Chains A and B, each alone.
Chain A
């Protein structure tokens, strides 16, 4: 438990150095099998750990993450470390500056233990599109861990770190959190600075946390949240002490009829509803049916936006400066998105596809806004099916449908989180809670009750 470990480190009963040493040992022994890290920052991490222990010994003040091992997704810039985005394109590229989130973690004495595997340029939801090999699901070996924050989720599930950073554009934190049986938080759009996050879809991307317990995930959000002048899409909304979790009751829980229909594997829906029933009992809450008219359009709205923005964001990878020319070195899915984005941005279409997608995005946001007038939170499954076996061929449509439950939160800019609901076929299954934009405190207290 993160809270207890922090207390032990701060009191000197346990040291940051030992914490890092133990994780390093475990990574060395077991990560060959899991493939969750692309880079392990052994030297840097141990050096920082010793400095923190020294501060504690000298009774100096230490930060909120003192001595904790933090794994960072390979698309978030850490100065001097290989920011490959799990692509051959950036094989030899090293970060030239710290992302805002990394700067904040370091300032709170969190220790970057390494950079995690992921779907190439975050383009995927299985972890299989990495140029450095797929990541195993530590909780269901042989199956995908989900993606695109595959390595971050697997590293947490396999006990290779305390907390991990992931990024979530259409479910990339929540989907692997669900498959790996851990907690994952996608904050509201504009809650966390994207400065230093390599672009997938700039109007949807958001950095969030993965952890085994709600406290750790909440603590990380508390550290990284906040307005930054380096990312003008961040908002000046008040940040609460998210890690100070309060017990709350009487939630009005929204459920949409469409959720069941969208669930390919009905066992998932059933499990999620059972878990919801427990919550209702425990917190004296009630279910309210809501109607989200446009949510079934989420996937088809999402992809044009991602394609177009990804096409634009990858223009800098032209082989002149950062790594190699992307079109010549990337995998199939990345290329599909670039070419798709190029096609629909062409002048002859006058931006109609992108504009149409933007218009539907607004409709979906409006649906959710309306719903949140009647309910406090919305509960849904995370993915419509169990994670497939690594290497199993699935169609592009099926691959994209993985994100049907998670995409709406990105399109609407609201916050959402995932907690384990149970297991089916010895595979973890998560439950998603969605809350209004900038109500991370509410979201976290619900997750804490689950």
Chain B
């Protein structure tokens, strides 16, 4: 790609536990009917004032800052960024960025990429240019903005980094995944590194396309100059918006309606203690336990899975557990069409499931069949197996009599097997499994039949 410098400004919706907007108590609900979650403050009625920023948002953004290795400021200062647009009822946006602002986090580093700053801002309303209607439900949603240094050198680096960033943020449930992210991308190339900012790139694949387009454009352009461009996804090109000289003046002023907000260092310490291990750290640790690379990667990609897995391996051998965990547990969750965050399975039941499996108390067939029920209805598996009499058939005499019955019933298969068709034994085993309702251990059945036929 040549000598390139790429930086990102990533905007995401904060995932709020209390579902309240940033400066008022209105509910955050993206599916509500237009203009139902509004008040004088988020519609900026004359005389309205912002409330103190939602604590939940402040704590969330501190945890993002910590996760990305930022220094957390002990003061937060909001300011007003003025511009006129139909979606902005007050004529300014409250943000921590800009000349008077004080962001939450500074000078971080995440996987080798410098983090310039992390700050909080409010979302404007939603304006439909065709109907001219404005829906204020979204006005005042808390947004996080992560600004990187121009440290990326290739699109592949950007791609891997962004994916890992999203996984990492999902670990602290900081960003609303369903709402997606928006990016502004800045690109410059050697030898002069004249920076272009590309606005509004809304998916990872578009980001990569926009970067590639910009690099080629800048190579071709003879009189390149510092400018802002917009990404047009439909034609796959960036379009000129304005030069640096004609940049919009936002006339920043500190927000006079809000006091400077003090961040208690003890709060930061408290949040730091709750910050989970990063996905990359978990991956390395799982590998050290002897877990296969693919299993480790899959399990560490989701915090819910990782947390469940870590509970399981407190009692179960990690190598054994990881195989079953990835192939069966995760597959069962996916088949159920459940969101990981909606999983409410009691970990102790899942641990029991693994124990039954490991100690061969119940057959894998029975256990696999019960897995969806366990995950969905939080089945008390031990009790259920006992009540339903689903324990493995461990009585060798009983097993042998089932096998004898099978040999009589499957005469042809016996002959086939004897004449050298090894696979023929499967239908004899299948007969036993059906008869025992899956409670027999197929391995044991296999060896008994072989012994009996010979």
Contacts and interface: CB of A to CB of B under 8 A. Distances in A.
- The answer to whether A and B come from one shared complex is yes
Interface of A: 75-77, 83, 85, 90, 93, 95-97, 99, 194-199, 201-203, 229-233, 308-309, 311-312, 315-318, 320-322, 342, 345-347, 350-351, 354
A38 to B, nearest CB: 15
B78 to A, nearest CB: 11
B47 interface: yes
A448 B256 CA distance: 34
A196 B47 contact: yes
Contacts of B251: 311-312, 342, 345-347
A211 to B, nearest CB: 23
A347 B91 CA distance: 17
Contact of B40 (A90, A96, A231, A346): A96
Given A96-B40, A345-B253, A320 B86 contact: yes
B420 to A, nearest CB: 85
A304 to B, nearest CB: 11
Nearest to B86: A320
Nearest to A344: B251
A199 B257 CA distance: 10
Given A233-B259, A312-B80, A90 B49 contact: no
B235 to A, nearest CB: 31
A437 B186 CA distance: 49
A288 B249 CA distance: 50
Nearest to B44: A316
A77 B84 CA distance: 24
Contacts of B41: 230
Contacts of B52: 229, 232
Given A347-B99, A351-B100, 20 more contacts: A83-B47, A97-B48, A99-B47, A197-B47, A198-B47, A202-B257, A229-B52, A230-B41, A232-B258, A309-B253, A316-B44, A316-B90, A318-B91, A320-B86, A322-B45, A342-B251, A346-B249, A347-B251, A350-B99, A351-B99
Contact of A97 (B40, B91, B258): B40
A93 B250 CA distance: 28
Contacts of A202: 256-257
B89 A316 contact: yes
A338 to B, nearest CB: 12
**CB-CB nearest 4 A-B residue pairs:** A315-B91, A345-B251, A202-B256, A203-B256
A99 B45 CA distance: 11
Interface string B27-52: 00000000000001100111111111
Contacts of B404: none
Contact of B256 (A309, A315, A321): A309
B49 A195 contact: yes
10 contacts: A85-B46, A93-B46, A97-B47, A195-B48, A232-B258, A233-B256, A308-B253, A312-B91, A345-B252, A351-B100
B86 A315 contact: no
Interface in B51-91: 51-52, 80, 82, 84, 86, 89-91
B431 interface: no
B47 to A, nearest CB: 4
Interface residues of B, number: 30
A317 B44 CA distance: 11
Contact of A231 (B45, B49, B92): B49
A312 B253 contact: yes
A231 B24 CA distance: 11
B89 A321 contact: yes
A439 to B, nearest CB: 21
Contacts of A318: 84, 91
Contacts of B256: 201-203, 233, 309, 312
A342 B83 CA distance: 12
A345 B100 CA distance: 12
A346 B252 CA distance: 8
A177 B92 CA distance: 35
A317 B250 CA distance: 17
A308 B44 CA distance: 19
Nearest to A350: B99
B46 A316 contact: yes
Contacts of A201: 256
A195 B91 CA distance: 18
A283 to B, nearest CB: 37
A37 B58 CA distance: 45
A51 B47 CA distance: 29
Contacts of A233: 49, 256-259
Contact of B253 (A83, A197, A351): A351
Contacts of A320: 86
B49 A194 contact: yes
Contacts of A311: 251
A232 B257 contact: yes
Nearest to A343: B251
Nearest to B258: A232
Interface centre among B86, B251, B252 (most CB of A within 10 A): B251
Nearest to A99: B47
Contact of A232 (B45, B47, B51, B90): B51
Contacts of B84: 315, 318
A255 to B, nearest CB: 32
Given A229-B52, A351-B252, A195 B47 contact: yes
A322 B257 contact: no
A317 B46 CA distance: 9
A375 to B, nearest CB: 28
Nearest to A309: B256
A311 B256 CA distance: 13
